[in-house]
Amino acid sequence: MEPIVSVTGGKIRGRTDAGVSAFLGVPYAAAPVGPTRFQLPSRAPDWSGVRDALTYGATCAQSPYQAPIDALIGSDGIPGDEYLNVNVWSPDPGGSGLPVMVWIHGGAFVRGSNARTIYDGTSFARDGIVLVSINYRLGISGFAAIEGAPLNRGLHDQLFALAWVQENIEAFGGDPNNVTIFGESAGGISVAALVTSPRSRGLFHRAIMQSGNGSTLATAEDAAKLAKQLAAKLSIDPTADAFGKLGPSELQAAQDATTLELVSDPDPARWGESIISNGLGIMSLFPVLDGDVIEGPATNVLAAHPDRAVPLIAGSTRDEFRFFIVPTGIAAAITTDTLPHMLTRYGLSPDLADLYAANRPTQSPAEIFAAIVTDRAFGLDTLDLAHANAAAGRPTYTYEFAWPSGIEGLGACHVLEIPFVFDALPAAHSLTGPNPPQPLADEIHSAWVSFARGGDPGWPRFEPDTQLVQTFDAPESAVVSNPRGEELAALRAALG
């Protein structure tokens, strides 16, 4: 069966299989090519007749992951200009009033797409949700602070896609008044930015932040400094006109070379303090404080504007940072002697290692390092955002994903919870190992569905006095009060 629906732009043809209708690669904005690559998104041109929406659309130009990471999660790369597109899965395009979830992919704002198998929305549609996954501009195209171009173009794309959902989701049976956004990593950071942005009012009603934070932000001054480095690499002026004359491959080569230099020499004097501190010396292009889409760190904005808070789930995985150091071989170089230097490189006091090691007597120096940086990059900020959202009077729920991967050394690493959320374990054995627990996927996926339907994932709310956290694990999950509170307090004190 090939259902046909009408959306902004014209009619599209999808495909129905086992009761789920999928519409793939549907443009929500005009193709950002040439000079328009650095302009705000605009309406996609209309088309005549019925447009096929049967296969995934193009993805933003990007380099593949390094081989060890690629082996775990794969890379993205579907050529084409119309990469500002959405995928929609629906249990009933002819129905009405169905809850809607909008997925924002991760990839450190320089990689990723909505075309990954583990992001397939079939399981959500099977359970009565209209699932939308979106693409947005990445890297230089989406986040470089270029003279003559608006800042945060990638976030503007996300806002434009959410507006498209408001205009069109009823055609797929969805309720525009019941939209939950959710995203992981860069997608989770985007969720925090969108929740607190003055431009997002009315575009969604609940949010789930997975392995993100509200503080990965660059100042406009530092972002412009990095853009000048990119321009110098290309021997051009740092202007939208000059960048717009170059093709994606030229931009990508300069972006990769500049990021490599930053990682090799994370000097704040060269790159900007906010780029190095908030990007942890490994991220180069990410959201910028522009006073428009982003007014400040998410916790600060919620304190000043509690009316922007929404019902929220926020959480992370227990061993996030192992994903970045184990497969790449960095972990093997972290010893008792090198651990203090590594912590200092990330702006952390070496004294923290004593506390974390005392609580983990069987773990290696690399595992201690990963635990500390995991809390620095994800855990502490997630807790702060939960405090701010709860203080604003909105239902708030926190979680920690603790089940360890079957791949040696990864533990409960970054990305690992996604195939559980999407109930897509068979597509993720390269990351999970061969025997991931299906009951845990049933539990997590059902919690996300329940939250999207009515705002309650099925575990107690986070409150500042109790700080209850749902710990997802197998064979059994549990609710824990203030897990690792002593370590988080010491980390907060060390960060000043």
Catalytic site positions: 185, 320, 414
- Residue given tokens 């093709």 in the structure block: 247
Instruction: Identify the H or E element spanning 191.
Output: helix 186-196
Q: Which long-range contacts (CB under 8 A, 24 or more apart) does 71-76 make?
A: 71/327, 71/430, 72/323, 72/327, 72/407, 72/415, 72/430, 72/431, 73/415, 73/430, 73/431, 74/116, 74/430, 75/111, 76/107, 76/111, 76/112, 76/113, 76/115, 76/116
End-to-end CA separation in angstroms for the chain: 60
Q: Return the number of other C-beta atoms located less than 10 Å from residue 23's C-beta.
A: 26
- Residue given tokens 């824990």 in the structure block: 480
Backbone dihedral region for residue 282 (phi beyond 0: left; psi -120 to 50: alpha; all else: beta): alpha
- Residue given tokens 């992951």 in the structure block: 65
Query: What is the C-alpha separation between 350 and 369, in angstroms, rounded?
Result: 10
In this structure, what DSSP letter does residue 69 have? H
Residues 6+ apart with CB under 8 A from 62: 75, 76, 77, 107, 110, 111, 112, 138, 139, 252
- Residue given tokens 């845990």 in the structure block: 440
- Whether residue 41 contacts residue 84, with contact meaning beta carbons closer than 8 Å, is answered with yes
For the chain, what is the radius of gyration of the CA atoms?
22
Instruction: Identify the H or E element spanning 354.
Output: helix 352-358
Helix (H, G, I), strand (E, B), or coil: what is residue 73? Answer: helix
Instruction: Identify the H or E element spanning 387.
Output: helix 380-391
Largest CA distance in the chain: 67
CA 254 and chain centroid, separation: 24
C-alpha distance from residue 175 to each of 204, 213, 237, 480 (Å)? 11, 28, 46, 35
Handedness of CA 78, 81, 83, 85 (dihedral sign): negative
Identify any residues that bridge with 470 across adjacent strands, giving them in sequence order: 399, 479
Candidates 135, 123, 37, 146; CA nearest to 83 is: 135
